[in-house]
Amino acid sequence: MGRPIPNVLSIAGVDPSGGAGLLADLKTFSALGAYGCGVVAALTAQNTRSVDAVHVPPVDFLRQQIDTLFSDVAVDAVKLGMLADAMTVRTVADRLAHFDARRVVCDPVMISKSGDHLLSPEAAGMLREALLPRAFMLTPNLPEAGVLLGARAPESVREMYRSAERLRNLLPLDGERWILLKGGHLPGSELTDLLFDGDRMIEMSSRRIETRNTHGTGCTLSSAVAALIPRHAGGFRPVESAVRQARDYLTAAIAASGQLAVGHGHGPVQHFHALWHE
């Protein structure tokens, strides 16, 4: 009998269009062979063009969702997405610490693809203070890196190196912790991400695919990493291998996004490109 299928949890917001957030995370987990669990941290009125409203469930109910799940299910990895306010961030951090959650991949969702702000300044401060000490990996894009560091966003790969080093200092210095700094906001035909553990800086580049169908790419990449890290555990350079496979998966999902016809704005990627056929 092979290795058990990993149980991977997403704590995130719900995007009714299905391209980002919790629904996209569950699609990604399923496509990559993980069993997906989900805790609703926010509800949005959202489509491919805009985020019109956000409703945050009471923190007592959020806590109950997390406690009820962890009391029964062995969770192998956790992906954190949209946590809209400071109390939500504090509650999630407290419960992850209580259950000593492993392999926490934190995607600091702050700004939607349509430009809408999804994280309050108070919540960003609480994220740095309470949640990052629990993170195994932090996966910001360049604008998010700027917010976390209180600086402007990096404007070159060279500046990304310095930002990755500074971001790593936001995580605990002891133990294995990683920064995946995503460079998709830089111009050019090449797309470069940096993976850094405080020692090795790994540059990963790929060809940029010209398309408007980029809704939820950050959610999809971070959830792919969370799904794949348990599968690579025990192998050679497991985190690097998981991130490379996750990037390949996302690239193929973007390339196949033209198979879908969802909305009139930034469309979703094709999460099931390897399973569905035209």
Element (H, E) at 37: strand 35-46
Total residue count of the chain as it appears in this document: 278
Catalytic residue flag (residue 214): yes
For residue 274, give Cα distances in angstroms to 21, 212, 277: 21, 21, 8
* Dist. CA 216–CA 112, nearest whole Å: 9
Place of tokens 């690097």: 240
The one catalytic residue in 27, 79, 113, 182 is 182
The one catalytic residue in 192, 217, 220, 251 is 217
Sign of CA dihedral 148, 145, 115, 12: negative
The one catalytic residue in 19, 21, 216, 267 is 216
Please give the DSSP secondary-structure letter assigned to residue 111.
B
The one catalytic residue in 18, 19, 218, 267 is 218
Catalytic residue flag (residue 219): yes
The one catalytic residue in 48, 88, 192, 214 is 214
Catalytic residue flag (residue 251): no
Alpha carbon 142 to chain centroid, angstroms: 14
Contact assessment for residue 142 and residue 185, using Cβ atoms and an 8 Å cutoff = yes
The one catalytic residue in 88, 91, 219, 251 is 219
Catalytic residue flag (residue 235): no
* Dist. CA 171–CA 135, nearest whole Å: 7
The strand pair at 77-80 and 104-106 is best described as parallel
Catalytic residues: 182, 214, 216-219
